[in-house]
Amino acid sequence: GAKIIHVFYHFARYVMIENMKELSVGTGIPFAEAVMRRPRKMYMAKVRHRVAYSKLLQILQREYFVFQEYRRKAQ
Q: What is the pLDDT of residues 29-75, one digit of tens each?
A: 666 556 666 667 777 777 877 888 888 888 888 888 998 999 898 88
Is the model's pTM score more than 0.75? no
Q: Which residue has the higher pLDDT, 7 or 22?
A: 7
Sequential DSSP letters for 4-25 = HHHHHHHHHHHHHHHHHHHHHT
Domain extent, residue 13, equals: 2-74
Domain count, the chain: 1
The Cα–Cα gap between 31 and 25 comes to 8
Residue type, 46: K
pLDDT at 18: 79
pLDDT at 33: 59
CA distances 69 to 2, 5, 74, Å, are: 22, 21, 9
pLDDT of 27 above 70: no
